[in-house]
């Protein structure tokens, strides 16, 4: 079996661009992968074409060899775009390898350690506890979800006294806990907007009495020692890792005991192979893994197989798939039920009772790609909303 062709597609998932990759073999198998969208997504297409030159003609089942070989081609450790491209190639190789033996990918990763994957949904639009309750209850009624992630901020952190930011956040969570069902798990994503670790400690400890599932990425990722200081000062679970890359960066984070939960992204760290190595390091430090997954339904499928095989897996971030045709309920809220044949994944993994069920009778990632949709470029420009402070300088995000 030899790698014959690589095809890259620019698509979208609602308002986000998506870059999907197919690798075809000389005996008719096709593997699929997804890149992380960093913003300059069009830069990924020529990069993928360049990387393909190094793997063309090779046996796709030599995943360790091929990924290590690609990692060496940049001379220095590859950055965000390089790793996003390598991640998608890695996904394709796993998909092909599993299809070649007619097995789900998780069976090549040591088999499934669990029968289904618990997920949580991000909810960032509820302005008050009553509205939040209605939104969470709707997601619970439709999908059985009982775990959610919200923003901790109730007021503009750059235009209000920090103590007031902390007070309003804690008061909101207190009211939320008194309003929603007691079995709901609620995490808070601070989105790396806080520069000073001491302020992050203040906010996390203000939320702690109301039992957050975790407090996510309050500060920038670059200073690992600062994360160790932050964790030692917190009385709630600390999660981070979406902005880190290889096992070497995660090792530094774990060595300083900088978190309770790691959140690597399988579409940017280098793929499944690197994610497994990261998870093993975390397990040796008694740290659980909750993969970062804001991507499309193919990325979710890949995460399902990875998560199924990890003993220290905790929970998976889940974004309900949206496509060119998505359904709205009578309240005007999106129910995000994709119509068959209208999206680039025809049969996405959808939650049942708050979990994604494994598909043991389907080889590879267990989903079918709609190539007719992918054949039509559907690029949408996206950029981060960088906060602007009252003095005209920009904040972090």
Catalytically annotated residue among 41, 90, 216, 317: 216
Integer CA distances (angstroms), 253 to 227, 240, 270, 293, in order: 7, 9, 18, 20
Rounded to whole angstroms, the Cα distance separating 99 from 298 reads 16
Q: Is 377 a catalytic residue?
A: no
Whether 265 sits among the annotated catalytic residues: the reply is: yes
Determine contact, residues 246/77, Cβ cutoff 8 Å. yes
Structure tokens at 384: 């981060």
In terms of DSSP H, where are the helices of the chain? 44-55, 63-72, 80-100, 105-108, 129-143, 162-179, 197-207, 224-233, 247-255, 272-284, 297-308, 371-374
**Tokens found for residue 105:** 């990918």
Contact 228, 257 (CB under 8 A): yes
Residues 36, 84 contacting (CB under 8 angstroms): yes
Q: Which is it for strands 3-13 and 334-338: parallel, antiparallel or unpaired?
A: unpaired
Q: Among 34, 189, 260, 274, which one carries the catalytic annotation?
A: 189
Instruction: Give which of 23, 89, 119 is closest to 317, Cα–Cα.
Output: 119
Q: How far apart are CA 223 and CA 220, in angstroms?
A: 7
d(CA 264, CA 275): 7
| Catalytic annotation, pick one of 265, 274, 305, 317 | 265
Question: Which is catalytic among the residues 13, 90, 217, 242?
Answer: 242
Sign of the CA dihedral 353, 358, 359, 363? positive
Q: Is 49 a catalytic residue?
A: no
Among 292, 305, 317, 322, the active-site one is 292
- For residue 330, what are the CA distances in angstroms to 119, 121, 195, 333, 334? 26, 21, 42, 7, 9
* Catalytic-role residue among 38, 91, 112, 191: 191
CA atoms within 13 A on the CB side of 202: 14
Provide the Cα torsion 63, 65, 66, 69; round to 10°: 150
Give dist(CA 144, CA 123) in Å, integer.
15
242 as an active site residue: the answer is yes
Instruction: Give catalytic status of residue 38 as yes or no.
Output: no
Q: How far apart are CA 203 and CA 196, in angstroms?
A: 11
Which residues are identified as catalytic? 189, 191, 216, 242, 265, 292
């Amino acid at each position: 079996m030899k790698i014959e062709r690589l095809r890259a597609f620019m698509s979208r998932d609602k308002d986000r661009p998506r870059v999907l990759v197919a690798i075809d073999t000389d005996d008719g198998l096709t593997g699929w992968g997804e890149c992380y969208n960093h913003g300059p997504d069009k830069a990924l297409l020529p990069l993928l074409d360049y990387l393909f030159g190094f793997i063309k003609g090779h046996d796709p089942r030599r995943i360790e060899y091929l990924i290590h070989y690609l990692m060496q081609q940049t001379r220095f450790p590859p950055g965000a775009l390089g790793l996003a491209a390598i991640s998608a190639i890695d996904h394709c190789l796993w998909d092909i390898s599993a299809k070649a033996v007619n097995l789900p990918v998780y069976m090549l990763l040591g088999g499934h350690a669990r029968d289904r994957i618990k997920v949580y949904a991000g909810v960032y639009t509820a302005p008050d506890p009553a509205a939040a309750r209605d939104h969470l209850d709707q997601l619970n009624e439709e999908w059985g979800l009982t775990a959610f992630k919200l923003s901790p901020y109730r007021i503009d952190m750059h235009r209000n006294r920090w103590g007031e930011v902390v007070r309003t956040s804690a008061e909101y969570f207190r009211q939320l806990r008194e309003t929603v069902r007691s079995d709901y798990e609620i995490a808070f994503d601070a989105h790396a907007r806080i520069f000073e670790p001491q302020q992050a400690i203040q906010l996390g400890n203000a939320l702690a009495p109301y039992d957050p599932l975790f407090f996510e990425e309050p500060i920038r990722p670059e200073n690992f020692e600062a994360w160790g200081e932050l964790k030692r000062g917190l009385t709630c679970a600390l999660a981070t890792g979406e902005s880190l890359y290889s096992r070497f960066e995660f090792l530094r984070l774990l060595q300083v005991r900088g978190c309770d939960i790691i959140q690597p992204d399988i579409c940017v760290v280098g793929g499944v192979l690197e994610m497994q190595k990261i998870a093993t390091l975390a397990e040796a430090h008694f740290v659980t893994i909750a993969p970062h997954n804001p991507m499309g339904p193919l990325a979710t499928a890949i995460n399902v197989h990875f998560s199924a095989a990890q003993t220290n897996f905790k929970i998976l971030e889940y974004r309900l798939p949206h496509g060119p045709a998505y359904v709205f309920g009578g309240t005007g809220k999106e129910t995000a039920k994709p119509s068959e044949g209208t999206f680039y994944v025809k049969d996405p993994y959808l939650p049942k009772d708050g979990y994604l069920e494994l598909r043991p009778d389907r080889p590879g990632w267990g989903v079918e790609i709609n190539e007719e949709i992918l054949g039509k470029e559907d690029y949408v420009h996206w950029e981060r909303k960088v906060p602007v402070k009252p003095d005209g300088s920009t904040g972090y995000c």
